[in-house]
Amino acid sequence: MSLREDAFERILARLPFPILELHPDNGGEFFNRFLLTYWKQAVPHLTLSRSRPFHKNDNPLVEETSPCARPRKNGSLVRGSIGFARLDTVAHTNLLNQIYDRMWLLHNFFHPVMRQQGDPDRTTVRHYDRPVPAFDRLSATAMLPPERQAALASLRLATNPFQLRNEVHSLLDRLGHLPNARPGKPQDVHRTLFNPAPYLPEAAASVTLSIDRTITAR
């Protein structure tokens, strides 16, 4: 299994609802043959759409780059919590995944968010709806299968938000104290896989990070 396929499987395992449409960014790192091949096989009836070139506001609910929107999710959730330090080791990646496994609970279950109403390009006055957590918004759409919604509701009731927040901050503190990769010392990125392969030759798994950022072809 390739690293790309493993990343896609991690996404599929996390989503609580069926995928009807895929709307990637236009950059080659997002829209490429690996993405098309995998998702057409994983979700045969998938609808594919694309953003208009040079129109970043086509993805306002994710990127939130509109002048009238709140700070971007990439900024408020990822950069605001993780920071801008370079994370380039297997230990960094595995700990970061532990953090994300807790952050999605904290933000989707307990952090209320506002949605701007109306067309942000046609008004100078911002109007927002009532702040509610993302899980409540999703539940109101009736898109979740009943058994999945019940399981998530039970998970929220069983989760202590204060304890969860402390766990996130404790893991972030550990992340900040991990050393970076040493120049010339390979990192086996396959040790970070969501579904690790049973065997991978050492040469195929070799990746050199930090100063020399080259990846050995598989």
- Say how far apart CA 56 and CA 59 lie, in whole Å: 6
- CA dist 33 and 49 (Å) reads 15
Higher pLDDT among residues 117 and 36, named by residue:
36
120-149 confidence digits (pLDDT tens): 566 567 788 889 999 999 999 988 999 999
CA distance 82 to 80: 6
The per-residue pLDDT for range 158-198, each reduced to its tens digit, is 999 999 999 999 999 999 999 999 998 899 988 999 876 54
Band the pLDDT of 13: cuts 50, 70, 90: confident
- Taking residue 96's Cβ as centre, other Cβ atoms within 10 Å add up to 19
* Residue carrying the six token digits 């970043």: 56
Q: Residue 177 burial by CB count (10 A; 0-12/13-18/19+): exposed, middle or buried?
A: exposed
CA angle 172, 173, 178 (to 5 degrees): 95
Reduced to 3 states (helix: H, G, I; strand: E, B; else coil), residue 207 is strand
Give the distance between the most distant pair of CA atoms in the chain. 59
In this structure, what token pair is assigned to residue 24? 């990637």
Read off the pLDDT of residues 89-103 as tens digits, 9 standing for 90 and up.
999 999 999 999 999
**What is the per-residue pLDDT for 202?**
41
Query: How far is CA 199 from its chain centroid?
Result: 27
* Three-class DSSP category at 21: strand
Sequence length of the chain is 218
